Amino acid sequence: MMDTLWLNEENDSLVIIDQTKLPNTLETLEITTPNALYDAIKTLAVRGAPAIGVSAAIGMYAIAKRFETTDITEFKARFSETSEYINSSRPTAVNLSWALERMKNVLKGCTTVDEARSSLKRECIAIRDEDIAVCRKIGENGASLITNGGVYITHCNAGRLAAVRYGTALAPFYVAQEQGKRFTVHADETRPLLQGARLTAYELSSAGIDTVVQCDNMVASLMSEKKINGIFVGCDRVARNGDAANKIGTHGLALIAKHFGVPFYVCAPYSTIDLNTKCGADIVIEHRDGDEIGEKWYNAKMTPNGVSYYNPAFDVTPHELITAFVTEKGVLTPRQL
């Protein structure tokens, strides 16, 4: 499987797999403008905390490469203004603001536009390479939690398509497979955008991993009837106290897991921890268009006229429901973060 996104060094553009077309069509988008980058992140053509961060870094380099100015002060001002615009596309994912801030920081010591562009290119490549290494390490640390013959649940998509390569919540499965382990993964379909049914099932089945898809509201039945060895999810932001924001439905899954005594693991790069956010109540939750619920996957509108919609993209799982975080630094309890 190809990387989810990359820098085309022939023309200094960001290239991403358009995830809105999967699993039926594999298409790529080439991005060189602020509006194209904003739209790709906002519409979920690129999605997943690590992938959003890396795409923002490479995308900002591609955009800055095309600034028509030789004045370093103007260059920095335009870069800062564009960064703020891109950051507004997905407010919940901390990796977006983290990557943009990191790119802005490399400009501080630059005195010429040429130096600035070279520095931005080095930094976006470094961010990409670090993501690959971090996700691999998350996989290695998490593989120790997977047993041969085990049965697991995952929610949304936090695999290869949510990062550059490997992913976060699915990385332990890929490494465990390399180690010769055989197991089954149940993928929640993940309403309303079906990231589990469309993307996780696509990834895992393509890799030869035994994959089962179920509706989100079937997990309690599944856990009551069948031994589940663990649940692996990703996240978009972790507060200082260990509360974690992830795709809507994660909180309910964690509550059910607690009831049935199933270990609940959150897989994420350490950069996802936001020390400036005290607890989950302080995390800004993005709300999306209600058409995703009532129309998106249907040939005709499936809800009556006049109803309104409640469509938060994320919910917050309290730290007391989380067994451990799987990071590149190891498997850590919320208290150890």
Give residue limits of the domains in the chain.
5-136, 141-336
On whether the CB atoms of residues 242 and 337 are closer than 8 A, the answer is yes
**Contacts with 162 (C-beta within 8 Å, 6 or more apart), sequence order:** 4, 47, 48, 49, 50, 51, 168, 234
Going by C-alpha positions, the residue among 256, 239, 238 that lies closest to residue 168 is: 238
Mean pLDDT of 250-264: 98
What are 149-184's pLDDT values in tens digits? 999 999 999 999 999 999 999 999 999 999 999 999
CA distance 91 to 320: 25
Which class in CATH covers the domain with range 141-336?
alpha beta
On whether the CB atoms of residues 66 and 32 are closer than 8 A, the answer is yes
What are 279-316's pLDDT values in tens digits? 999 999 999 999 999 999 999 999 999 999 999 999 99
**pTM summary value:** 0.88
pLDDT at 218: 97
> Does pLDDT of 227 surpass 90?
no
Task: Identify whether 269 is preceded by a cis peptide bond (ω within 30 of 0).
Answer: no
Q: What percent of the chain has pLDDT over 70?
A: 100
Mean pLDDT of the chain: 95
Q: How confident is the model at residue 226 (pLDDT cuts 50, 70, 90)?
A: confident
**Residues designated catalytic:** 236
Q: What contacts 24+ positions apart, CB below 8 Å, involve 126-131?
A: 127/53, 127/54, 127/57, 127/58, 127/99, 127/102, 127/103, 128/6, 128/7, 128/54, 128/57, 128/58, 128/164, 131/50, 131/53, 131/54, 131/163, 131/164, 131/165, 131/269
| Architecture of the domain defined by 5-136 | Up-down Bundle (1.20)
